[in-house]
Amino acid sequence: MSFVQELSAFVHQICLSPYNIGVQITAVALPLLLLSETVNFKLGRWIFKPLASLGFIVAALSYIPANNTSFVASSTAAATTFSSWTEASKVLTSNCAVDLVTAYELELKHVLFNIAPTILSSPPTSAAVHTTYTKAMMGAFVLGFIGDVLLIPHRGFLPGLVSFLAGHAAFMVAFTFHGQDTVARQTGLSFVAAMAAMVGPWLLPKIKNKIMRGAVVAYMLVISGMVITAFGSINSGQDYLPERIVGALMFFFSDLFVARQHFVHKTVLNKWIGLPLYYIAQILLASTLRGQQVLV
């Protein structure tokens, strides 16, 4: 099998649920955010960026399966979650708008009554105990949301960077607890080493503030670790989810455009490339929670 065929087979397995309510929140808010960035509409930035980021949190919660004794059975509540684009298109042609509204209502109940209470509650009082992978991933998404809000004002760059650094550390914990494949992890290490050899000399000399430079170096190390552990986790565990590795890579490249915007050259093109990469990455990583089982 050729490299192109292997890559095609790998990417073909990626599963997005276009009717997942969180995915749709981000899909609606992201273009409005990009338009706000283009015309420098500050109010729009404050409205649509948190909304787009809320979308990947809701998407993640929607993907998490529920305990069978919960308020709404997960098989019913996840009515807007499909295993493939083909399945989604069939539903689109066979169901009317009323059916979709009902599905959205069930999914919201699934998030509010099944999932959120079990993650927020301590194990003795919750009906279900979620895996370390699930908890670490949800922590990473929340930290990403906080980082997004902090990055809206220019003076919030350093606090936002710290929040994202912590989020990448949470991703590393999740991927590590999922299990690691040594050979696959070495592939990730090779990729990161090659990128560091190019990005370091390009970016670091442009950062004059020593504190900021140190923070950026720390961030580069942590996001590199996230990518390496994403590569390592791809062949381990009970499932094979390419969303982990593709999401991690898209996150990595989106941050290059954030760095270019802040330290190298300010242009709206950085936003138009970086923001879609970032939000698709978060949605892809959120979709990996569909493979997690609830511990009861």
Give the mean pLDDT of 19-30. Answer: 88
Query: What does the alpha-carbon distance between residue 241 and residue 247 come to, in Å, rounded to a whole number?
Result: 10
7 compared with 131, residue with greater pLDDT: 131
pLDDT tier, 75 (very low <50, low <70, confident <90, very high otherwise): very low
Query: What does the alpha-carbon distance between residue 134 and residue 63 come to, in Å, rounded to a whole number?
Result: 10
pLDDT tier, 265 (very low <50, low <70, confident <90, very high otherwise): very high
- The confidence score (pLDDT) of residue 71 equals 36
User: What's the pTM?
Assistant: 0.80
- The confidence score (pLDDT) of residue 10 equals 53
Nearest to 290 by CA among 10, 34, 15, 12: 15
Q: Render the burial of 109-126: b for 16+ CB within 10 Å, e for the rest.
A: ebbeebbeebbeeeeeee
pLDDT above 90: percentage of residues in the chain: 53
Helix (H, G, I), strand (E, B) or coil at 123: coil
Give the mean pLDDT of 19-25. Answer: 83
Helix (H, G, I), strand (E, B) or coil at 108: helix
pLDDT tier, 18 (very low <50, low <70, confident <90, very high otherwise): low
Query: Tokens 């989106």 — which residue?
Result: 254
Query: What does the alpha-carbon distance between residue 20 and residue 37 come to, in Å, rounded to a whole number?
Result: 26
Structure tokens at 113: 């009554």
Query: Tokens 């990473």 — which residue?
Result: 140
- The confidence score (pLDDT) of residue 183 equals 87
User: Up-side HSE of residue 161: CA atoms within 13 Å toward CB?
Assistant: 22
Give the mean pLDDT of 237-249. Answer: 77
Question: What's the chain's average pLDDT?
Answer: 80
Per-residue pLDDT tens digits for 202-222 = 999 999 999 999 999 999 999
Nearest to 229 by CA among 195, 192, 185: 185
Per-residue pLDDT tens digits for 177-203 = 888 888 889 999 999 999 999 999 999
Nearest to 123 by CA among 294, 287, 289: 294
19 compared with 153, residue with greater pLDDT: 153
How remote is the C-alpha of 199 from its chain's centroid?
23
> How long is the chain?
296
Query: What does the alpha-carbon distance between residue 212 and residue 263 come to, in Å, rounded to a whole number?
Result: 11
Give the mean pLDDT of 60-64. Answer: 84
- The confidence score (pLDDT) of residue 53 equals 97
pLDDT tier, 68 (very low <50, low <70, confident <90, very high otherwise): very low
